[in-house]
């Protein structure tokens, strides 16, 4: 850490240049003795990346920022707040502490939090910021978290770990492809805690994860503004039975859909004709990741458009639904589109034999704020086009 970056003049310069070109700042001569241009540019870039993701950090004076990559990889405040509810007891250890966002939110609920980070500079940065934010119940250790838990005699109520995928691994991966390897060290972690919370990328297949782990009591699928952000695996000592799957959509309001896989095999009605329905429902991505496609319809009293199309119809508005709701104004044909003048609408394609960009070009469709053209298919395999107005966003 270069503490000169925290002086009043430098902080004022950083705040005044948040909209400046950081590349130009990095190439120009530094205005401050003992501070390089690249350090200034790095602080500005990382702070800019924090504005929406980490508003408490962004709006607090004298926060020290790490490299931009650390900001990109860290949890957002909204997801950190959510996962803090999964911790139990009075003590927690974060084995992969990083920038410390999760640790700071765990510290709001747990009496004592231990933050382990093998990168000593990042550990020092996290400790400095915790002091600024008055998170005084966090102990910072610049160590390998897994190595520390192997040697300590202390037992923690909750262990939290965010394993990183190895660089050579592609989109499809398993827990054994991550560092630390939680599946290989699960016995050790269960000896040292009552509960383990594991954060993984949403690309991890739920069935594959369950095959590598045991004692999984809950799986949380967390999305923000229809972007699936993370999977949270809750492992409880001595738990047996079927885990609860929770799809959590974190937007202006938190909406949760919870079930067990054994509940998801239900029969569902399909819509042969949409003329008798007024509203179209599109599930949030967390709900889709859960795979409970028929159960969604049963829980919210919806009919499904097509077995391979995760769209649903109803004649009532249920604002508790985690996803978007559209009011169907008109059902169109391709002939109608060809005849239309100044056609407007945001294009949604679901199980329809064309790409959005091709449809936009072919029918000269202009984008719109709240109006949508939904290209999809009914259970009778009829291609349909719905002109609809959005009445509930994600």
| Residue 14 covered by a domain | yes
**What value does the mean pLDDT of the chain take?**
94
pLDDT surpasses 90 at 169: no
pLDDT (average), residues 248-258 = 94
- The CATH number covering residue 223 comes to 3.40.50.150
Q: Which pLDDT does position 274 carry in this prediction?
A: 87
How many folded domains does the chain comprise? 3
The pLDDT tens digits for 184-219 are 999 999 999 999 999 999 999 999 999 999 999 999
Burial 266-286 (b: 16+ CB within 10 A, else e): eeeeebeebeebebbbbbbbb
The pLDDT tens digits for 121-141 are 999 999 999 999 999 999 999
Indicate the pLDDT class of residue 264, thresholds 50, 70 and 90.
confident
| Residue 260 covered by a domain | no
Q: Which pLDDT does position 173 carry in this prediction?
A: 74
pLDDT surpasses 80 at 168: no
pLDDT surpasses 80 at 375: yes
Share of residues in the chain with pLDDT > 70 (%): 98
50 & 83 share domain: no
Q: Which pLDDT does position 380 carry in this prediction?
A: 87
118 & 78 share domain: yes
Cβ neighbours for 174, distance < 8 A, ≥ 6 positions apart: 183, 204, 208, 209, 212
Model-level pTM?
A: 0.93
| Residue 189 covered by a domain | yes
pLDDT (average), residues 31-47 = 95
Range of the structural domain that residue 150 is part of: 74-241
Q: Which pLDDT does position 171 carry in this prediction?
A: 63
């Amino acid at each position: 850490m270069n503490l000169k970056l925290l002086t009043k003049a430098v902080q004022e310069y950083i705040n005044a240049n948040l909209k400046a070109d950081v590349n130009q700042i990095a190439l120009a001569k530094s205005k401050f003795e003992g501070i390089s241009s690249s350090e200034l540019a790095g602080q500005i870039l990382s702070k800019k990346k924090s504005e929406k993701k980490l508003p408490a950090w962004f709006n607090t004076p004298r926060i020290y920022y790490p490299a931009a990559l650390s900001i990109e990889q860290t949890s957002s405040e909204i997801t950190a707040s959510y996962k803090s509810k999964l911790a139990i007891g009075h003590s927690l250890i974060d084995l992969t502490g990083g920038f410390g966002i999760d640790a700071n939110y765990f510290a709001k609920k747990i009496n004592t939090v231990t933050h382990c980070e093998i990168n000593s500079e990042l550990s020092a940065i996290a400790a400095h910021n915790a002091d600024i934010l008055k998170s005084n119940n966090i102990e910072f250790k610049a160590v390998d978290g897994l190595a520390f838990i192997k040697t300590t005699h202390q037992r923690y109520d909750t262990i939290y770990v965010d394993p990183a995928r190895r660089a050579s691994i592609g989109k499809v991966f398993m827990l054994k492809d991550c560092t630390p390897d939680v599946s290989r060290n699960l016995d050790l972690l269960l000896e040292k805690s009552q509960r383990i919370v594991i954060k993984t990328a949403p690309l991890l297949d739920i069935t594959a994860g369950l095959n590598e782990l045991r004692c999984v009591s809950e799986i949380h699928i967390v999305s923000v503004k229809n972007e699936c952000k993370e999977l949270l695996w809750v492992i409880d000592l001595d738990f047996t039975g079927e885990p609860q799957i929770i799809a959590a959509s974190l937007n202006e309001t938190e909406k949760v859909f919870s079930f067990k896989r054994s509940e998801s095999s239900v029969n569902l009605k399909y819509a042969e004709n949409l003329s008798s329905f007024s509203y179209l429902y599109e599930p949030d991505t967390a709900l889709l990741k859960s795979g409970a496609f028929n159960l969604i319809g049963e829980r919210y009293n919806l009919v499904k458009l097509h077995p391979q199309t995760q769209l649903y119809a109803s004649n009532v508005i249920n604002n508790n639904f985690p996803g978007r709701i559209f009011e169907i104004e008109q059902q169109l044909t391709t002939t109608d589109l060809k005849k239309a003048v100044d056609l407007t609408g945001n294009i949604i394609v679901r199980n329809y034999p064309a790409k959005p960009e091709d449809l936009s070009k072919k029918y000269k469709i202009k984008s719109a704020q709240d109006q949508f053209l939904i290209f999809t298919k009914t259970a009778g395999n009829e291609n349909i086009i719905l002109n609809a107005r959005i009445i509930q966003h994600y």
